[in-house]
Structure 1
Amino acid sequence: MDHRSDTTGTLDEALQRLHGTGPERLGRLTNHAPMAVEALAARGQAGAVHRWLDLYAPKLEEFPASVAPVTEANWPEALGDPRRAADWIAYFERQIAERPWRDVLAQWWPRLLPGLYGGATHPVIRVGHAVRTLEEGDATGPRLSELAHGLGYWAARHSPLAGVSVLPGLHRTAADGLDAVPPIANRADGGFPARLARVEGLPAWAAAVDDPEEARRGLAELVRAATHRYATHGHGEATMLVHAATAPNAVLRALPALPRALWVPSLRAAWTASAAVTAMYAPDEPVAYEPVGELDAEEVFARALAHGDEHVIKFADTALDVGDGSALGAALRAVELSVPLG
């Protein structure tokens, strides 16, 4: 099931509808709607976008108030301040209005990449969806604004991961690396930020990569491995373990719009994010999982849409990028494990 750039105008309508809402709700939870509607449109389900949004609408909050403008002079002090989300979004809207969007992305990607872990990796995932739709379709006003919202959210939630040691050991594949991730202490306690602070050491799977093309291949391998692994490990935490695959896939989706010099650090940050999520939420033991019968990509995505949960839709979208039977089975596993929307 290939990507289908939406030519109906529905995605642009939905994004305009959403840009009056904030990137978060309840002060800490992410607004997933812009990502989910992009996935629906990309998979030929534009006709379902507004119906899905109507179901999700009770979770939306108004756009936050501004504090003070972000400028070229003061941006370092505003970085990582979630109270400044509106200021950051306005800053990026000005930047993208004045310069080509790829130039803005290339300038800010290395500034934002060390803070990939803030907002439970949702900001980079939102940026990845925005970049895909710009790369594959027209750079309309709402789509450019969506990139500004994603980058602004990332800047506001920018949160580096410090003090993590590199664990010795040769892990030839991404799957081996994920299997070698040690769990954090007290896995039953705390939300994402508290758990992230307890990540002490991660395997060095991506550390030796120094070639851009090798980094691109490594990212694709990581996305495939994390997607496959969800089928047997997703029961550890059905929602949060989705991000072990969707966060690196967002980075992979951004690569075509980025200078090749940024591809290697992008792989390393994506590996750290995927491995950290694994450390924080993976179960003690895997379970066997085999989907029943032949799987069809369109049918799998239709089942994700019928289920309606935003993480299930986005994970199915990533599974379709991977495209093999194991990935499609993992998407069905997410349907089974997750609570339906509405």
Structure 2
Amino acid sequence: MDTRDATEPKDISDRPVPSDTGGHLEEALDRVHASGPEREGWLSNHAPMVVEALAAHGQSDSVHRWLDLYRDRLEDFPDRTAPVTDDNWLSALGDPRRVADWTDHFSRTLAERPWKDVLAQWWPRLLPGLYGGATHTVIRVGHAVRAVAAEENAPRVTELAHALGYWAARHQPVTSLVALPGARTATAALDAVPAIEPGHLGFRNRLAAVRGLPVWADEVTDPDTARERLTELVRAATHRYATHGHGEPTMLVHAATAPNAVLRALDSLPRDQWAPSLRAAWTASAAVTAMYAPAEPVAHVPPVRLSPEEVLQRALAHGDEHVIKLTDTALDVGDEQALAAALRAVELSEPLAS
């Protein structure tokens, strides 16, 4: 018997996304594209993801104010090395020094071909390496796809080029994972994820310490079923943050936002890519769970019940980029427990300094 709630919506990505943002999103993206995808050699530039999330939830008037607060965390766009071409791309894959070259490659390609065709070609090439940049690579692509799917214009297509270029440059596969006994539901499967041994510092070292993950949804081949299960995973990981986010308030956000980025891309991808996308999203969510899970969960009941609009306002007032991005996913999920997870992120995280 399927233990999922039959009243749950089959897809949390059906909510309409505003296409007309008054030009505020486009202006913000133009500002961001003068900056590189990282700072201090590793930390991801969250500005393009946050401004898209705010615009998608009707907060276009806030994107420049937020970006002004974040601007000290932006670094100049990196130098170019040598062009990436159709003949040499494989040798450049996963080389972060080539991020400008990759961005140029996708800018040229997207100028020549429809963006969905480019995405369909590159998605299966990049999907095995979605752990790069601590999963921010695929998350940025998910935001870019949502933006350009709502309205195709030059700044949004340019953002897709930057996002795909970042993913290609930071492409990082994970191999040799042992398949562990799984569970039927996404919630139970996440509960079954074993934590890594303590003492590993940094995302790369922690990821290397993940030896095995529970099997979940590996039998799915039907595209529509893959979409339903991916929706289930996003919901379960978002809910879980409310009780487990204290393990690492920033990094555990990605257990929910990475699979949601994949979910956002599905409608723009060929259906035969949906089931592989589900499997990659599960592995990413489970790996982040293993890397940062706390020793014990905590019961969490938000002190007040707030509407989705009020939760978004609290996240925006707090300002932290991960809080806003988790709230973005929580609003997609849309239920009370998801909103509680967003409020928990507000409680646990340091606010963006004004």
TM-score class normalised by the smaller sequence: over 0.9
- Conserved 8 A contact 1:2-1:43: no
Gap regions ≥5 residues in structure 2: 1-14
**RMSD, aligned CA:** 0.9
The within-5 A match list for 1:73-222 is 73-136=87-150, 138-169=151-182, 171-186=183-198, 188-222=199-233
Structure 2 letter corresponding to 1:276: A
Deviations 1:255-300 (A, max 9, x none): 0000000000000000000000000001010000011333200000
**When the two structures are superposed, what TM-score results if normalisation uses the length of structure 1?**
0.98
Structure 1 stretch displaced more, 223-232 or 43-52: 43-52
Q: 4+ residue runs of structure 1 moved beyond 6 angstroms?
A: none
Structure 2 letter corresponding to 1:146: E
1:341 aligns with 2:352: yes
Matched residue SS, 2:67: helix
Q: What residue is the counterpart of 2:323 in the other structure?
A: 312
**When the two structures are superposed, what TM-score results if normalisation uses the length of structure 2?**
0.94
- Conserved 8 A contact 2:21-2:60: no
Deviation at 1:210, TM superposition (A): 1.2
Matched residue SS, 2:213: strand
Deviation at 1:318, TM superposition (A): 0.2
Deviations 1:154-184 (A, max 9, x none): 0000000011111124x11000000000011
Deviation at 1:307, TM superposition (A): 0.2
Deviation at 1:2, TM superposition (A): 5.7
- Conserved 8 A contact 1:246-1:314: yes
Deviation at 1:134, TM superposition (A): 1.3
Deviations 1:199-244 (A, max 9, x none): 0000001211111111000110000000000000000000000000
- Conserved 8 A contact 2:25-2:52: yes
Q: Percent identity?
A: 70
Structure 2 letter corresponding to 1:197: A
Q: What CA distance in whole angstroms lies between the structure 2 residues aligned with 1:6 and 1:33?
A: 20
1:41 aligns with 2:52: no
Q: What residue is the counterpart of 2:10 in the other structure?
A: none
* Residue number among 244, 247, 262 corresponding to 1:233 in the alignment: 244
- Conserved 8 A contact 2:21-2:55: no
Q: What CA distance in whole angstroms lies between the structure 2 residues aligned with 1:69 and 1:124?
A: 23
- Conserved 8 A contact 1:32-1:310: yes
